[in-house]
Amino acid sequence: MKLRYTPIKGYVHAVEAVINYAGLARRIRPVPTQPFDEACDLWKDNPLGTVPTLILNNGKALYGGPVIYAYLDSLHDRPKLFGRPGSAASFDIMRQLYLADGLFDFFVRVGREANEPKKTHRRHTVTRNWIKVVRALDQLNRDAEDWTGSRLHIGQVRAHTSISFVGKYVQLMSTMINGLDGSFDWRKGRPALRKWHARWAEHPVFTTNLAK
Ligand SMILES: N[C@@H](CCC(=O)N[C@@H](CS)C(=O)NCC(=O)O)C(=O)O
């Protein structure tokens, strides 16, 4: 299989974590892809032109991170990251996946302002998107109160990778974007999430890199 991804450190992390968990690294060839490059032919595999996109061995493509995670989760015999299909728990796991994936997407939307000349930054757009990041973190902190001792699931995998990405880039982004506070620390006021994130930070699922 080929995985088309953006070679920004941390960006492809959730797919990597699922690949690590599932033990599938040998079956996947990472293909660096720049979706914002005019000449990029990603649209031939995925009309939406988004990464990640996974090209299966039969040539068919899967796109949308959560779709790819679900497919990869079907390929291993370990406890399933998506839980038991159809169970109440599985829907709550998917809700957390959607939340953590959305957190990441809204953070990226804030970051996209950096592509515009600084004086035309739309403060209202930055504020509106940023508040969603903050509220998603608050909800994940409430969810994390139940995560201690629970088996790793896809909501947690996406939460861990999204939060790490925010922590890694918020300060840098604030230097490029009007109205973004670079002193923001997602750990402050979110003790359950902080403790849980630290507990998994050095786990090979999250530290083994597929994409160079
Ligand atoms: N959460 C979504 C995000 C997909 C997404 O928007 N990826 C961005 C990463 S830069 C992209 O490819 N954008 C290309 C574009 O907006 O044209 C997923 O996991 O599929």
Say if 104 falls within a structural domain.
Answer: yes
What mean pLDDT is reported for the chain?
Answer: 93
Atom of ligand 1 nearest to the CA of 48: 17
Would you say 155 and 100 are in contact if contact means Cβ atoms under 8 Å apart? yes
Do 140 and 176 lie in one domain? The reply is yes
Mutation pick for ligand 1 pocket among 31, 51, 63 (CB with most ligand atoms within 8 Å): 51
Query: Nearest C-alpha to atom 6 of ligand 1 is from which residue?
Result: 50
Query: Nearest C-alpha to atom 9 of ligand 1 is from which residue?
Result: 51
Query: Nearest C-alpha to atom 19 of ligand 1 is from which residue?
Result: 65
Which residues approach ligand 1 with their CB closer than 6 A?
6, 35, 49-51, 64-65, 101, 105
Average pLDDT over residues 22-40: 94
Do 42 and 117 lie in one domain? The reply is no
pLDDT of the residue at 148? 86
pLDDT of the residue at 170? 95
Say if 79 falls within a structural domain.
Answer: no
pLDDT of the residue at 122? 80
Specify the CATH number for the domain of residue 59. Answer: 3.40.30.10
Average pLDDT over residues 193-208: 95
135 is in which domain, residue-wise?
88-207
Specify the CATH number for the domain of residue 134. Answer: 1.20.1050.10
Residue 50 C-alpha to ligand 1 middle, in angstroms? 4
Question: What is the percent of the chain with per-residue pLDDT over 90, rounded to a whole number?
Answer: 82
Is residue 9 predicted with pLDDT exceeding 80?
no
Query: Nearest C-alpha to atom 5 of ligand 1 is from which residue?
Result: 50
pLDDT of the residue at 211? 59
Mutation pick for ligand 1 pocket among 12, 46, 48, 50 (CB with most ligand atoms within 8 Å): 50
pLDDT of the residue at 212? 57
Residue 191 C-alpha to ligand 1 middle, in angstroms? 30
Angstrom distance (rounded) from CA 132 to CA 100: 11
Say if 168 falls within a structural domain.
Answer: yes
206 contact partners, CB below 8 Å, separation of at least 6:
13, 17, 20, 160, 161, 164, 200
Do 102 and 131 lie in one domain? The reply is yes
Do 59 and 92 lie in one domain? The reply is no
Say if 82 falls within a structural domain.
Answer: no
Is residue 13 predicted with pLDDT exceeding 90?
no
- Half-sphere exposure of 210 toward its Cβ, with a 13 Å CA cutoff? 29
Is residue 11 predicted with pLDDT exceeding 80?
no
Is residue 118 predicted with pLDDT exceeding 90?
no
Q: Which residue has the higher pLDDT, 76 or 116?
A: 76
Beta bridge partners of 113: none
Say if 170 falls within a structural domain.
Answer: yes
Do 200 and 124 lie in one domain? The reply is yes
Do 117 and 160 lie in one domain? The reply is yes
Atom of ligand 1 nearest to the CA of 65: 19
Do 128 and 192 lie in one domain? The reply is yes
Given 24, 48, 73, which residue is the final one in a domain? 73
| 3-state secondary structure (DSSP) of residue 126 | helix
Do 108 and 68 lie in one domain? The reply is no
- Per-residue pLDDT tens digits for 45-84: 999 999 999 999 999 999 999 999 999 999 999 999 999 9
Do 111 and 68 lie in one domain? The reply is no
Reported confidence tier of residue 25, pLDDT bands at 50, 70, 90: very high
Total domain count, the chain: 2
Residue 35 C-alpha to ligand 1 middle, in angstroms? 8
Do 128 and 152 lie in one domain? The reply is yes
pTM tops 0.85 = yes
Say if 81 falls within a structural domain.
Answer: no
Is residue 20 predicted with pLDDT exceeding 80?
yes
Do 102 and 155 lie in one domain? The reply is yes
Do 6 and 106 lie in one domain? The reply is no
- Per-residue pLDDT tens digits for 123-160: 888 899 999 999 999 999 999 999 988 899 999 999 99
